[in-house]
Amino acid sequence: MIENLRLTRRPRRNRKSKAIRALTQETYLNAADLVAPFFIVDGDKRRDPILEMPGISRLSIDTLILDLKPLIQGGLQAIALFPKIEPSRKDDQGSYALRADGLIPRAIAKIKEAYPHLCLITDVALDPYTTHGHDGLLAPNGDVANDATVDALAQQALTQAAAGADIIAPSDMMDGRIQAIRHALDQNGFEDVSLLSYAAKYASSLYAPFRGAVGVAQVENDKRGYQMNPANAREARLEGMLDVEEGADMLMVKPATFYLDVISQLKESTLLPIAAYHVSGEYAMVQAARHLVDVDAVFYEALLSIKRAGADIIFSYATPNILKCLNGDRLVR
């Protein structure tokens, strides 16, 4: 009988009350950990629902500025901007990405005017701007031309920095782009602009809702020639090490919940902050199960697992849900 064993180790003692569970909790989510991604469009007073991502809409700049107020009051300190460009502005070079009067530079300036202390993170990649949907420029054989793309990305980064971006986040996965962008920023007086490298961006099936949200064209050849093989983990450490050497200030793993092992390994490999992107497919899958599960509770558990794996920064479309939980409007713990 168990009563005769005289147990001395009873881990349940550390779980017997809410107060003790709080004292012994190892991992906490905080509003300061979160980055809220937003999709923006040209126009005024626009709120275009994204069918693939229930609860998420493409917003005009004025609408976004209004929507940000309660989130900032709830503790949000950082957002990331992604554009949906009108098809008439796209070309095979993605040239609209370099325009100082483009959608993203205008959004940066207006948001900074409204919320000077909000951290603005901007995406550097050409896929929202190209007719072919790739993250870079195409060579005559149809492959993405690495070095020519890197030159264009450096120019895109300069455009965003000049508009007032706090953190530039290259998501293209070209070789050498961190070094080129860091050099371009430093040579043009933007030494204080940070670089968050998508160091380990996997060729994942979980990006489909995002591509619909930003109107990225279906690519003729998939992106496995430059995004990472989902089977590889050590390669993520190599990519991270290279980006550290090239001048990155932070490193990203994308997606997040399918790659918790990669987050953990990268965390052990560098002293730089680690970001993780809880991507559109991860968000959409939970929303698709909303009649079966408590959506807020699942989102909270998912982001807690990402934090537990070692992420310091978490990009998530569920950020408004999590802020509600953290502020006691919806207790899930």
Write out the catalytic residue numbers. 201, 254
Q: Which conformational region is residue 25 in: left (phi greater than 0), alpha (psi within -120 to 50 degrees), or beta?
A: beta
Taking the CB of residue 139, how many other CB atoms lie within 10 A of it? 12
Q: Please calculate the CA angle 135-272-276 and round it to the nearest 5 degrees.
A: 50
Strands (E), 141-249: 167-170, 194-201
Alpha-carbon gap, residue 208 to 123, rounded angstroms: 17
DSSP state of 253: E
Distance CA(208)–CA(76), nearest Å, equals 26
CA distances from 98 to 70, 126, 146, 156, 198 (A): 32, 10, 18, 5, 20
* 211 contact partners, CB below 8 Å, separation of at least 6: 133
| Side chain identity, residue 302 | A
**Closest to 296 measured CA to CA, from 325, 259, 255:** 325
Q: What share of the chain is helix, strand, coil (3-state, %, to 5)?
A: 45, 20, 35
253 and 262 Cβ atoms separated by less than 8 Å? yes
DSSP state of 48: E
In angstroms, the CA 47 to CA 262 distance is 36
